[in-house]
Chains A and B, each alone.
Chain A
């Protein structure tokens, strides 16, 4: 190779391994899911020869699956909303609070991310179970007679999911608030706005990009969560992701599992797009 060619193509060698990895083992496999969803169900094999629409037919003809998608979307929506309400004040404090508190808080928000999701979900089973810490404490204090149903239902799943995904809501909002010039709020105050009004009219709208990013992230993560709903929901409440994984692992229905996964992805994507449209920021364009 001559010098000029070396200069031009040398750098490409740096990106080549990553490009091959992403191209071959991420892009192609995702496209393959779409193909898989049109394959014939197999008899004793993961899939059979030829292509068909039967997998989608099975989805639309069974109210059970549609209901499950609806349930999953609902759980995702409630989780996202709860994360937003719980997380916003924390994000604000991490961005604007006094510095000692900030460093500690930042560490506290990040550290749960370093603990595996199985372990965090396990912690919730200890807390939420019929024989768990919360029920025993409440019964011990005589506030309730029998255990409250906290686990094996949507409520338990939402509580644990909020815990698992809260940092993903806090961090984007925090960086959005950090990016807002504090003098804007000061300017609003100088023009006669109260502290609350300045927040509502200036800081809150300007932090919308962070809210949007955090909400989409948490919503998507909630829809696709497997471990938490599986451990907390048990066999009684299943989200779509759990059903899909079970269909693939336990019963080897690959084409049908693919169709289910795609239906969940498509509905999730529609929700995200509609949400994006509703929260479009004209001043940003």
Chain B
């Protein structure tokens, strides 16, 4: 393949990857009552409709709340597991890695089904958000684990030993030495967990408790019956939220990288 042809080919693929997303964003500014393309004039009317739609607003709040809870739980469990994996797992290292990545390698639909049956079998059911949050933590755990263990791989255990020789106890060593040094991995992993959790559909769909709906579920339900550009406005807001999180993380991690 000649070079220009090759470049054009890649650009077409990139366009293919971005088009459906761009189409949703553009459609959200449609002034018309139906989803048509090209839009019939530009307006924010569907955003107004969306912001006044209590069902969607509640779904967003629920999603944000679940994502935050998931992020905290996943962040803690994933970080401690990654520390164990890099520093103490020894001969079990490969086994620990496979187990920690398993939720990512197994089909989400199967995991959702399995969890649904399980929470019923042990009597918890879907009366509470327990099952859904467990599912979210499972799905997001590998992302925290991957990020933190990448940071841990470049963490020199002799830093902890040096701190210990200088008189620092277990907790001080973690707080003053290890945590600041693996912070990029922890923050990156947590933000990843937040974004992933915010977008999880299948697990939420199968394990949601009655009366609770996350944004992806609400959107999915809406799309089965409605074709107004309101869904596009909702989607665009969701994309913007994700973008904000990404930019924040870039800023936070970027700042840190300049210091040493």
Q: Choose the segment among A60-68, A147-155, A254-262, A275-283 that binds chain B (4+ C-beta atoms closer than 8 Å).
A: A254-262
- The interface residues of chain B lying within 8 Å CB-to-CB of A29 are 111, 114-115, 117-118
Q: Give the dominant DSSP class at A's interface.
A: helix
Within 8 A of A (CB), among B4-41: 6-7, 9-10, 13-14, 16-24, 27, 35-37
Size of interface on A: residues with Cβ below 8 Å to B: 72
Which residue of A is nearest B25, CB measured? A123
Chain B residues contacting A221 (CB-CB under 8 Å) are 107
* Interface membership of A80, Cβ < 8 A: no
Closest CB pairs A-B (n = 6): A123-B20, A224-B107, A116-B199, A29-B114, A29-B118, A18-B81
Main secondary structure of the interface of B (DSSP, over half): helix
In the bound complex, do residue A108 and residue B14 qualify as a contact, i.e. CB atoms below 8 Å apart?
yes
Residues of A within 8 A of B24 (CB): 119, 122-123, 126
**A112 and B17 contact, CB distance less than 8 A:** yes
Of the four ranges (under 10, 10 to 19, 20 to 34, 35 or more), the interface on chain B belongs to 35 or more
For window 38-97 of B, CB contacts with A under 8 Å fall at 76-78, 80-81, 83-85, 87-89, 96
How far is it, in angstroms, between the C-alpha of A36 and the C-alpha of B120 when the chains are bound?
12
Question: Which single member of A14, A33, A125 contacts B80 (CB below 8 Å)?
Answer: A14
**Which of A49-57, A129-137, A177-185, A202-210 interfaces with chain B?**
A129-137
A26 to B80, Cβ gap below 8 A? no
Is B182 close to A, CB under 8 A? Answer: no
Most buried by A among B80, B100, B232: B80
Q: Select one of B88, B115, B138 contacting A14, CB under 8 A.
A: B88
Q: Report whether B199 and A33 are in contact in the complex, using a CB–CB cutoff of 8 Å.
A: no
CA distance A124 to B18 in the complex (A): 11
Task: Check A22 against B99 for contact (C-beta < 8 Å).
Answer: yes
Whether B252 sits at the interface, judged by CB under 8 Å, is no
> Provided the pairs A11-B88, A122-B235, A126-B37 are in contact, do residues A26 and B117 lie with their beta carbons within 8 angstroms?
no
30 A-B residue pairings within 8 Å (CB atoms): A10-B170, A14-B88, A15-B84, A17-B80, A17-B81, A25-B134, A26-B106, A26-B114, A30-B111, A32-B121, A33-B114, A86-B13, A87-B13, A93-B7, A101-B7, A108-B17, A109-B14, A111-B18, A114-B195, A116-B201, A117-B201, A122-B20, A122-B24, A123-B20, A126-B23, A131-B36, A133-B37, A223-B107, A225-B109, A248-B113
